[in-house]
Structure 1
């Protein structure tokens, strides 16, 4: 009997192919929206999270936000003598127009010291790093990311080339290894220059951001306390600076991910509920159109529960089939996105299966009223309907 009910339901859906498709459309769009958004969002956030985690738990970031606060590079370097601190690396970040052989773009220019590469755990694939002599002599040299090298030179083989930053020419002395993305964008598009050269470009003498490498992962909390004490003594204002380590950033990322997941789940639920309302409306129309069919079936012995099960089955098939179509289309869209954007986003099949299960629930919930209405029809009244 169950198989017969399923076959009758499938036949009814097949006989009204266009209406069935339009009924499923809300479910299809809802499933596609949540699966695609979750897949792409998780890919982006996982890349950033992996990049942050790869920096290690011994890295600390200090930001000086007070407007009337001035902290010099020399004073920050005194932190290197603290027992829990291995090295410090102040940075100056600015945005400049960079040119090479007709190729022009706006890039993030970061003034760094030699210790920056060790503190940030950054390596080069060719050439050399910025040396202490470059800092001392304020030389016009640059170490560039792979993305910047490809954009400007058309290849990673850019060592020895010349780029123009602002109005001055800089010799490329090194190309960094690929790093991926961080919270502020692609690290591979950055251009690193000597700290003193960046001071000359920007006119900035006070440090606004610096990184600290703790002597070990066990001494991170001690190092944080030392940096906070140092900045409090220097600025006299505890609200003028922030000090965080990578675990704090990862915790924040987890909170953002959880919030995004809840938001997307809410959007999906609303979309699927709207699709469920559409299914209920069409099923009610179907009950009205098939009143005579219901009367004949009851007259020849069909029980009330059989009629109810048939319409519930139709509702569930429409809903679940819509979810499956949405899932397949989501996989196609994500694959096309990966090809176009060079990304590695993957379908979250757990979310997909959860969406399909929710579709089944939607089918039952919104199919119950039309099914109950159909099952309550009296044979004599149904047969009198023309």
Structure 2
């Protein structure tokens, strides 16, 4: 009963000084809101990075051509010409625990349909590229093994290319021109949107890799080989086997002389996740500083309140209030300030996170953990910074307090 009465008295004291109470809460409101908003931004960045890497495929290894040494200096990845289509076939045939192997080449071209044209990237791919990249055909069909064997001039286009060249009409069955050669559109991909780096994943044209290499780009080597491993726990083993096989095929004796590079997307995702987690913690920590400032504000106002209510404290002690009773009264008042400020701050933080997402076209992720953590931290701040004023009030001599004017 005493606790309930203390809460009622605390609320009445806050309403008696509305403006002062609002200004006291402001530090807590800003602190809690900033923590929630900043953490939601950090978690949004992490989700975008994870989605971007996941869009390349799960349990992925990417073999990149190049990185040869010229006069002892390693060149840029992709600058060599020793990665062949036969290397991809050998990986698929000789190494176990692999679901799909999809070599590809790419180059930018202007694609034309009638009086409409669009600059895009043309990818030479195999039929397994669809499974590795988790692509979905919205209309029509995908490139088949027969298309590769016969080097057909067929194409599957992304949603962005389709809208720019054909508008609202269905492109399937119609022809486009790439480097002045006609290609029949056999399918349109379902939209995948932008990657975390802002790259439009729908701005692409896919053609058979054999057609690309022999009839369009005049290439004898490939740029990358995408490998999907059957399970995550076998990625490291498969990576070692791929590196060993390619060294044998390219007659490389020392790993330092590799003319290729094998990247493990699972390791990259773990590294990026750890990095974005640290960024999120940093943003949250910086925002939490304003909570400490809010706590100092609470202590300051409670000290003023103790001075203003010195006679009241003296009367209560003269009527039998104990050290514990006075201490509890002022602690409850400071906690009530922080609780109300924390609740308002949660609303402000969630609103700010949604506003950032809408106005900035930036993904934010609001979860319960930072909300609970920031709220509990604000309550703890109120309790911690309320202890000193409460002790000062509880230790007042009742006779001196009654004499206070």
The verdict on a shared fold, with TM-score over 0.5 as the criterion, is: yes
Structure 1 counterpart SS, 2:63: strand
Structure 1 counterpart SS, 2:321: coil
**Which residue does the alignment assign to 2:391?**
372
Distance in 2 between residues matched to 1:363 and 1:103, nearest whole Å: 65
- Post-superposition shift, 1:289? 3.2
2:157 aligns with one of 123, 132, 143: 143
**Which residue does the alignment assign to 1:126?**
139
Structure 2 counterpart SS, 1:189: coil
Distance in 2 between residues matched to 1:313 and 1:152, nearest whole Å: 68
- Farther off after superposition, 320-329 or 113-122: 113-122
Structure 2 gaps, min length 5: 68-74
Please say if 1:209 is aligned against 2:224. Answer: yes
User: Contact 1:148–1:188 (CA<8 Å) still a contact in 2?
Assistant: no
User: Contact 2:157–2:185 (CA<8 Å) still a contact in 1?
Assistant: yes
Structural mapping, 1:184-263, within 5 Å: 184-185=197-198, 188-194=201-207, 195=209, 197=212, 207-214=222-229, 220-233=235-248, 234=250, 237-238=255-256, 241-263=260-282
- Post-superposition shift, 1:267? 2.9
Distance in 2 between residues matched to 1:106 and 1:347, nearest whole Å: 38
**Which residue does the alignment assign to 1:77?**
88
**Which residue does the alignment assign to 1:314?**
333
- Post-superposition shift, 1:14? 1.4
Please say if 1:360 is aligned against 2:379. Answer: yes
Distance in 2 between residues matched to 1:154 and 1:218, nearest whole Å: 45
1:218/1:350 Cα in 2 relative to 1: closer, same or farther (>3 Å)? Answer: closer
- Post-superposition shift, 1:126? 0.9
- Farther off after superposition, 212-221 or 110-119: 212-221
- Post-superposition shift, 1:19? 1.9
1:233-267 residue CA offsets vs partner (Å, 9 max, x unmatched): 53655476542445434433542354344334423
Distance in 2 between residues matched to 1:29 and 1:310, nearest whole Å: 26
Distance in 1 between residues matched to 2:199 and 2:155, nearest whole Å: 21
Structure 1 counterpart SS, 2:142: coil
Please say if 1:328 is aligned against 2:347. Answer: yes
User: Contact 1:110–1:198 (CA<8 Å) still a contact in 2?
Assistant: no
Distance in 2 between residues matched to 1:94 and 1:16, nearest whole Å: 70
Distance in 2 between residues matched to 1:96 and 1:293, nearest whole Å: 84
Please say if 1:14 is aligned against 2:12. Answer: no
Distance in 2 between residues matched to 1:177 and 1:253, nearest whole Å: 27
Please say if 1:114 is aligned against 2:126. Answer: yes
Distance in 1 between residues matched to 2:164 and 2:300, nearest whole Å: 55
1:28-74 residue CA offsets vs partner (Å, 9 max, x unmatched): 22222222333354355446546755876553222346226433333
- Farther off after superposition, 178-187 or 14-23: 178-187
Structure 1 counterpart SS, 2:101: strand
- Post-superposition shift, 1:153? 5.9
- Post-superposition shift, 1:325? 0.9
1:206-233 residue CA offsets vs partner (Å, 9 max, x unmatched): 5443202347778655532232124445
- Post-superposition shift, 1:9? 0.9
- Post-superposition shift, 1:324? 1.0
TM-score (normalised: structure 2): 0.74
- Post-superposition shift, 1:333? 3.8
- From the two aligned structures, give the one with the greater helix fraction: 1
Structure 1 gaps, min length 5: none
Structure 2 counterpart SS, 1:89: strand
Distance in 1 between residues matched to 2:50 and 2:398, nearest whole Å: 64
User: Contact 1:51–1:180 (CA<8 Å) still a contact in 2?
Assistant: no
